[in-house]
Amino acid sequence: MSVYKVLITDAEYPDLSDEQRLLEEAGCQVSIAQCRLPEEVILAARDAFALMVQYAPITSDVIHALPNLKLISRAGVGVDSVDLDAAKEKGVWVANVPDYGVHEVASHAAAMILSLLRHVCFLDRKVREGVWHYLSTGEIHRISSLTLGVVGLGRIGRTLASMMLHVFGRVIGYDPYLPANAWPEGVDRVDLRDLFMKSNVVSLHLPLTKETSNMVNREFLALMPVGSYLVNTARGGLVNMEDLIYFLDSGHLAGAALDVLPKEPPVAGDPIIHHPKIIITPHVAWYSEESEKELRYKWAMNVVAFLKNGSPLYPVVMPVERSS
């Protein structure tokens, strides 16, 4: 019986015994590391046929240094930590888990939106400073008179939009890839510039790609109405943080809520940590006990399904067969 070597490159979970059991029952030999750099992955992977990745960077150098590599399974939706072009070129499958925390992320975004608009966290800070007054954080407006803009209407964006339809006066959306027959009922379709111009709150639900990196920059932030808010539960690299802080400090934006940052965790002294207009959570929008269990099961089952059927559960990159 063949033994298939699998490396779990890194994981923040304290116990990986469930993943190990699933893989070993499928005939895999499992190694566990905590790689943070490409060269660490190369050293740890050696002759691995599959990598199970949480945050470790899987660069072109990594992919080309591992001759037996056939599959990369990412624990999460985003695959921006994997060089997809190099994987396709090398004939390596890439898989993710796109559907494990849809309601969790949408709910977290909704909680952030409502907290910003009702000044919940800002008022909490004032009370702890000894200030007890309903106007201590400025004006609060009726949510049913406001417009929510949702950028990206995949599973999570559509779920959030549906949640908010009966809360906001209007919900508008932008997604150039979603066909008309899949567009959520009650959400007005607009172009990206219109969305930023017309939204009192913009919530981001996009993958991080070359096209979307730093997409929310000075140009688009300047379009937003004075006193509006930005929420990001997708990828930190979508937002130019220097530009965001500039528009918060200038008073153009009233606040922002961020579950994701360009660098996680932020370094000591990063101005976003103590910024009075920013709410930060530690990349937790995906999490519930139930979603973590589902994520980890499907993360491992991508490998098991590949061994059984020749394809992972959720392929992102499917190698093209080359004719001889």
Strand 315-317 vs strand 93-95: parallel, antiparallel, or unpaired?
A: antiparallel
- From the list 46, 235, 242, 252, the catalytic residue is 235
Cα–Cα distance measured from residue 74 to residue 94, given in angstroms and rounded to the nearest whole number: 8
CB burial of 160-177 (b: ≥16 within 10 Å; e: otherwise) equals: bbebbeeebebbbbbbee
Q: Are 126 and 182 in contact (CB under 8 A)?
A: no
Q: Are 295 and 97 in contact (CB under 8 A)?
A: yes
Neighbours of 31 (CB within 10 A): 15
What does the angle CA 218 – CA 223 – CA 226 come to, to the nearest 5 degrees? 105
Determine whether 21 is an active site residue: no
Q: Residue 48 carries which side chain, given as an amino acid letter?
A: A
- Enter the tokens of residue 74: 């990412």
End-to-end CA distance of the chain: 30
Determine whether 235 is an active site residue: yes
> How far is CA 33 from each of CA 8, 22, 96, 262, rounded to the nearest angstrom?
6, 18, 19, 24
- From the list 119, 170, 283, 296, the catalytic residue is 283
Q: Is the peptide bond before 265 cis (omega within 30 degrees of 0)?
A: yes
Q: Where are the beta strands (DSSP E) in 137-200?
A: 147-151, 170-174, 188-189
Determine whether 289 is an active site residue: no
Q: Residue 39 carries which side chain, given as an amino acid letter?
A: E
- From the list 211, 264, 289, 294, the catalytic residue is 264
Residues 6+ apart with CB under 8 A from 139: none
Please give the DSSP secondary-structure letter assigned to residue 100.
Answer: S
How many CA atoms lie within 13 Å of 320's alpha carbon, on the beta-carbon side?
Answer: 6
Helix (H) or strand (E) holding 125: helix 120-128
Cite the active site residues: 235, 264, 283
